[in-house]
Structure 1
């Protein structure tokens, strides 16, 4: 009898995952999942294992990656078949290139300018909302995201660290002033009247592809206060995460009694280091991610499924989003 109930509950989650989307049309729902890798049907036994894992935890620490945001229509880098690396030859800008080359900065900001309206318009999906609900219920102790899309903040998270920064902020490399990325968009428009290019698909960091010829006349402003170079408040590839931020995350992890990874292959060391620390402390670890991760040998519970399908089905049924 108990097993039949679990089957029915899991079936409801799957059915309502499809029927309760806030999309305005079926076509929009399909496009939202365009960057989500294929996965097997949800396994009810694995779902129960994750339910037990979360229920036992009093101070759950969560790490999220690009796989949480793919269901909002933002591609990841590495997923087989649908990730940016699989679909294109494009690669994200390197930190040293941005710092050393005015041409590289011009190219980056022109592409970012074109991609910003689409990138900034994405909304949290059911995975973000479920995790935010866990925080409100006192279940989620701290969340660390490797994403720069601000979707956790849009979902209402307070106890969150944006490990790699946030593309919705801009920092001056001279005086350190932070400004909203939306404000910079207005400055771009003023400096480049009539300049427009077509966005050819937005990357996980908001970048789009444009040729050097297309961007050669694009004008990039400096800091309004000191005139120095402006940079997204994100950790570019080849850069390192701020030491104080890493220390803060380790302090929050030390307070936790279990760790959940959602939507990350953990290929980047900046996030993987916290799995190593948790494993060393013998904390229980659960992973929800489509495809292999760097921490398979550490997982007590493992689900290869969509985060937006799984996470809303965890916690008491009356509090679920599914």
Structure 2
């Protein structure tokens, strides 16, 4: 852990990959292990797919709001991990967060460079005219519809649905190319193609570090591996890195 602290201190450009373990520390459930329709074999892929959205957008929105608990989105707040990554920027470091999470908490914590690899729950877009609507509008009706009189199309959530293409992978690799250090926080690295990113960093001979409660199938790709509670580790980093250095 002390060696990794030194790596973070020395690195100017840090790329951080974050997963569900960062959001669960804010009380947001890991949807893949929560109760209900999300855990039924095959159901989540079927109902949360672009095909089902096109087939029955009204029922899609009913299930989407239930699964992702959109009404509760505003009640969640950034935690120590989000704030630590934002605070690294106050030290003059260039920090880019590439997150699997769709809750927008990294931005709310103050991180200025965030790539939402799987999209965002906080907005939806009209497939016809491209108008973008925020969470308040999305929650104002059971099935959100574009308010333009000439449009009136059912909105599509700005998350990556099953069947949608991942559009941010090449951009994520380009960010990793410029990094002095790649930190991976709170992810089991089971979801493709996100889990290819640490391997890309390894092939580019960039120092890599993983902090996760449990071992992952990709542990071998990291120079530093810490299996521990993420909040406990980050609080230690905060004490050693942020509080012991002057702001720039």
Q: Given the two structures, how large is their TM-score scaled by the length of structure 2?
A: 0.85
Matches within 5 A, 1:1-322: 47-77=1-31, 83-84=33-34, 89-90=39-40, 92=44, 93-102=48-57, 104-109=59-64, 111=66, 115-186=69-140, 188=141, 220-225=143-148, 226-242=151-167, 245-314=168-237, 317=240, 319-320=242-243
For structure 1, which segment, 101-110 or 223-232, has the greater mean C-alpha deviation from structure 2 after superposition? Answer: 101-110
Per-residue CA deviation, residues 78-136 of structure 1 (Å, 9 max, x unaligned), is 5xxxx3279973453223222222453243255269x3232221000111111110122
Q: Is the 8 A contact 1:131 1:140 kept in 2?
A: no
Q: Is the 8 A contact 2:91 2:242 kept in 1?
A: no
Q: Give the CA deviation at 1:158.
A: 0.5
Aligned length: 237
Larger relative strand fraction? 2
In 2, Cα distance between the equivalents of 1:87 and 1:222?
A: 24
Q: Is the 8 A contact 1:127 1:309 kept in 2?
A: no
Q: Is the 8 A contact 1:50 1:314 kept in 2?
A: no
Q: CA 1:152 to 1:298, structure 2 compared with 1: closer, same or farther past 3 Å? A: same
Q: Give the CA deviation at 1:143.
A: 1.1
Per-residue CA deviation, residues 205-256 of structure 1 (Å, 9 max, x unaligned), is xxxxxxxxxxxxxx524212212221211112332212xx333222221111
In 2, Cα distance between the equivalents of 1:234 and 1:295?
A: 25
Q: Is the 8 A contact 2:145 2:152 kept in 1?
A: yes
Q: CA 1:89 to 1:60, structure 2 compared with 1: closer, same or farther past 3 Å? A: closer
Q: Is the 8 A contact 2:121 2:135 kept in 1?
A: yes
In 1, Cα distance between the equivalents of 2:38 and 2:145?
A: 31
Tell me how large the CA RMSD over aligned residues is: 2.5
- Structure 2, unaligned runs of 5 or more: none
Q: CA 1:117 to 1:252, structure 2 compared with 1: closer, same or farther past 3 Å? A: same
In our comparison, the structure showing a higher alpha carbon Rg is 1
Counterpart of 1:196? none
Runs of 4+ in 1 over 6 A off after TM superposition: 85-88
SS of the equivalent of 1:72 reads coil
- Structure 1, unaligned runs of 5 or more: 1-46, 189-218
Q: CA 1:110 to 1:161, structure 2 compared with 1: closer, same or farther past 3 Å? A: closer
SS of the equivalent of 1:286 reads strand
